[in-house]
Structure 1
């Protein structure tokens, strides 16, 4: 048991990063609106996450460098390098700003379920006080750097909520044959394309690819650790994905067509917790929101530092300036009157649209022998990677077209 815990790496942290307010919200919406139909999309997401995160972990261990750092070093042409760095920073900053808004909105949803919605009016401007409070908490914890103890408590609460959804999914007594059918037969009902992209975006989180490479090189220094890292990724991602699938299954039993607040989301937990479901989910959403509101800005700061060659030091002014921008943008987007559920969903769709860009860079790096030597991708790994890339590009294009009502 002691050896087991010693070998636990960044896999559970990656899984915890995608089981946040976005996952709870989007998976619930998928279950309520489409039943079991979109379970195949979550299975695809789990598969893609395992493949891409394994590559990221292998890259970090073998090269002992972060993904953004390697991209900056390996692109030799100054113009191409400038475009690539700008593209990555833009993608991560925009994506994480949207993600941060979703995290803060999720935490605020949890608080609103207990204390109600508090709006502060300044002239014509209306600000959500709960979003401001979540943003201030995240800002203070990041600034002083003493957030690890709190993070452990929050992760515990999120894990507790995960077990609740697994148990609830079992209590709803779903039709196992229908679940199996939904897993193996891809179906995209009318109006489901953005939900499919959101399910992928909430699981295969682009910034996690950068984060995993950086964390893996810190945890493991020897190439002999690669099998342990692979197992760590596989177990953690599959368990995390199973929780997401259980949320969809539990939500399928909700007899309500419109999900607009925490009380509606909590209906998925009522078979297990009855009238206390709302408060239990509120604590879970608050915990998930705060935890993610801390990690998303940090990841953006690490990525930007790697791309621009800055020192990745928590006390560095440049490093601080990046996460400060992300937190401020997150608070602004989540507090100016948009519906929290819609912000969270937009964040996941945004992630889904950004994924092809980041996955493309990762695949390119994973085939460079100058970086990985004999540990470059095998032909089979490249085939899987290209299939994932094609699917994400296809969904991304369809998503953009559907947003503009072209399809």
Structure 2
């Protein structure tokens, strides 16, 4: 399995720092990229709706969500630091293909909902500040892809600096908004006492939880912490966990300040003046100047919204890449991945605005956050199981009190979601003219997802799951061989990957060397562990590959060929040239899967890298 966010994996060294401050600073950064997901435009919609309808009453929901977020993000960071797997990769190794495809589908829905909110939010900000139409604003967000490529090519630290600058813009904007609004401190404090005035408040509260504790952030954080290179000893891992927790605490408290500021602004400005139905960001922007008596309030509001949309679209696109690669192990070129991820957000946004008009964007933003909340259970529950697993976490599993706290959070979120879904289904059945259709569509789907959730919750307690190691290609030992009378080579290297391409490569090698030549079968183990520890790695996939390579060697030796097997570790583009250039081979033979043109753009090729790095002929056999 490839590394998570391979372009920037372990690209920031935390070692050899001259002071404690510099060492802490080296770890700081990933949580700030996470924090923008907690202050994205979807949060604005739910916070504005909550503040305008219920005043300060739902501040406690924001505080509770922030505490939940801090615990869950620390678990996500722990998974990435200890196992060197992101949440999607860990799921792929644990569950069956069928379950993984469903989890991937749900994660993509969450990404689409999240991106829809971010794209719409940024488009609204551009519309408010520069009078650009929403459709054109949405299309402009395509440029985020190229900005992301530029930033990530400059290094993860440059990207972190850019995001932190945007977060600072958001923070300073709301400091001034608070000065303009002059909220009532006593009511803010009373808002910290839990209360839910009615069912509408519950709907908005669930939206706030969905907007705050975001499933894509759990995938993203478990990947971003792997951009730090640190000592992999027990002490080094402990230190990385501590510094990342501090990083998360600071960043998420900043996000809490922004969310609370939006809700307080809505309460002090709209609710106080009798505007109880301000859920549209455009309406909030329009009302700020007359209600607060300053033209700077709406300008700062729009600037902060653009900064929030821009920062969250970048991190959302990264999360989409992590989910696609982790669940599907789909190795396609970075720019293609990001264009696909961005289109998943832009296409629904354009369709929605074209069909329903610009006036429904507020309701859509809140709906997107409720969808995110509904998907949370399918990300949180596997995460809790993974970080509680002693063998998977190599002694760094979470304690019993932390497990209890995590399960309480999962129970709260899943229970709120279940109540919401039940209420919505009952409402649909009562209002529908033809409820039979619902009984055969919506209800079976809801039951199916409930059963999937129960399966994910209870399976690890019932039976200890065996690792589901999936190689990048099928293992196939049914080889057929032919020989020729003309032989020109004496020492031949053959690349094998246990796919159908092996048969063609081996046969062509035999035609070149016959039974007089010496053959070296070379296979590269590409797991993250292999890349880290080389020949010292001991994992299931390495064991399987070593066994299969030995079986190849035995089959060919029994047919009278002089064969040895060589197992390499890490990236093929680096490991293969090293093996070849250290040997005395006459030729290297490798099979291909025959993809060209667009497929080469998508998947890239090992061939191109090899041709320029080895000093012997390369024989390419097309399967």
TM-score bracket relative to the smaller structure: 0.7 to 0.9
* Partner residue, 1:249: 264
Aligned partners of 2:32 and 2:163 also within 8 Å: no
User: Is 1:332 equivalent to 2:347 in the alignment?
Assistant: no
Match of 2:255 among 220, 240, 254: 240
Distance in 1 of aligned mates of 2:85 and 2:169: 34
Aligned partners of 1:306 and 1:312 also within 8 Å: no
Match of 2:102 among 81, 87, 93: 87
Q: Which moved more, 1:264-273 or 1:39-48?
A: 264-273
SS at match of 2:294: helix
Aligned partners of 1:38 and 1:188 also within 8 Å: no
Output the aligned Cα RMSD.
2.8
Query: What's the CA shift for 1:10?
Result: 0.9
Structure 2 counterparts to residues 360-379 of structure 1, below 5 A: 360-379=381-400
Aligned partners of 1:269 and 1:277 also within 8 Å: yes
Match of 1:137 among 137, 143, 160: 143
* Partner residue, 1:386: 407
Q: Deviations over 1:231-290 (max 9, x none)?
A: 111121122112211221121012323323425246458887811322222222222222
SS at match of 1:191: helix
Distance in 2 of aligned mates of 1:365 and 1:355: 16
Unpaired runs of 5+ in structure 2? 1-20, 231-235, 429-623
Task: Check 1:397–1:246 CA distance in 2 against 1; reply closer, same or farther (3 A cut).
Answer: same
Task: Check 1:96–1:282 CA distance in 2 against 1; reply closer, same or farther (3 A cut).
Answer: same
Unpaired runs of 5+ in structure 1? 76-80, 120-127
* Partner residue, 1:125: none
User: Is 1:64 equivalent to 2:79 in the alignment?
Assistant: no
Distance in 2 of aligned mates of 1:234 and 1:85: 31
| TM-score (norm. length: structure 1) | 0.86
* Partner residue, 2:294: 274
User: Is 1:395 equivalent to 2:416 in the alignment?
Assistant: yes
Distance in 2 of aligned mates of 1:268 and 1:15: 26
Match of 1:168 among 155, 167, 177: 177
Structure 2 counterparts to residues 7-406 of structure 1, below 5 A: 7-75=27-95, 81-116=96-131, 118=133, 128-134=135-141, 136-142=142-148, 155-169=164-178, 172-221=181-230, 222-223=236-237, 224-254=239-269, 255=273, 256-259=275-278, 260-265=280-285, 267=287, 274-311=294-331, 314-315=334-335, 317=336, 319-320=337-338, 322-338=340-356, 339-404=360-425, 406=427
Q: Which moved more, 1:347-356 or 1:274-283?
A: 274-283
Q: Deviations over 1:151-205 (max 9, x none)?
A: 8556534422323324433554434333223213233434112211111111111
Q: Which moved more, 1:108-117 or 1:233-242?
A: 108-117
Task: Check 1:228–1:157 CA distance in 2 against 1; reply closer, same or farther (3 A cut).
Answer: closer
Distance in 2 of aligned mates of 1:257 and 1:277: 20
Distance in 2 of aligned mates of 1:101 and 1:334: 10
Aligned partners of 2:169 and 2:307 also within 8 Å: no
Task: Check 1:52–1:150 CA distance in 2 against 1; reply closer, same or farther (3 A cut).
Answer: closer
Q: Deviations over 1:331-367 (max 9, x none)?
A: 4345324422122111111111111111011111112
Distance in 2 of aligned mates of 1:143 and 1:164: 28
Larger Cα Rg: Structure 1 or Structure 2? 2
Aligned partners of 1:54 and 1:233 also within 8 Å: yes
Which protein has greater RCO, CA pairs closer than 8 Å, 6+ apart? 1
Aligned partners of 1:19 and 1:288 also within 8 Å: yes
* Partner residue, 1:123: none
Distance in 2 of aligned mates of 1:93 and 1:170: 40
Which has more helix, going by share of residues? 1
Aligned length: 391
